Amino acid sequence: MIAVIVGIVFVVIIGIYLITTYNSLIKYRNWVKESWSQIDVQLKRRHDLIPNLVNTVKGYATHEKETLEKVVQARNQLISGSPQERIEADNQIQGALKSIFALSESYPDLKANQNFLNLQEELTSTENKVAYSRQLYNKTVADYNIKRESFPTNIIAGMFNFKEEQQLTIPEAEREVPTVSF
């Protein structure tokens, strides 16, 4: 009789452990999805701001068409694809936006234009939010992967097919220290 009770208690404890562990893996996986959504929101915000910026700059820098076309092309690539592909398009946009902001040095009237200054401030704010969202995403992915790979949770993660999530990375070219010269 005692052996049966001990057996039932053991099965209940194992069942509670399985349920708790499974639910915690679900929670972490959903945090990863939610943190990607935060990046997505900021990328969409940037996507919406870019046409306004491009139109403002067009009025001042009509012969800088190539730079503006690169921005629009990268913006269009940002809408679809995997998270890593979208981040690559995002990196292209960052480079193109730097070129647009450099144009303001060549066009003093553009630097003084309130619309341009407002859009530049909005994009700077958005860039900061994108950077923060990327950091949050990578931290959330790291927490999920640590949880998923830790013993004995890894057994349950394997049983229920919880896959490893990939952190966002930056291209090798952007790892180089920028050169500042006067």
Where do the structural domains in the chain lie, given as residue ranges?
Answer: 2-162
Can you give the pLDDT at residue 126?
81
User: What pLDDT is stored for residue 12 in this prediction?
Assistant: 94
Q: Which CATH architecture is the domain 2-162 placed in? A: Up-down Bundle (1.20)
Cβ pair 67, 100 in contact under 8 A: yes
Task: Provide the pLDDT for residue 169.
Answer: 78
* pLDDT of the residue at 143: 95
Residue 79: predicted pLDDT:
67
Q: In terms of DSSP H, where are the helices of 59-164?
A: 65-77, 83-106, 108-112, 114-149, 153-159
pLDDT at position 182 is 33
Contact 108, 117 (CB under 8 A): no
Instruction: Specify whether the CB–CB gap between 91 and 85 falls below 8 A.
Output: no
Give the pLDDT confidence score for residue 180 in this predicted structure: 41
Mean pLDDT in consecutive groups of 10 residues from the start of the chain, 182 residues: 90 93 94 89 79 68 61 68 72 70 64 68 82 90 94 92 87 55 38
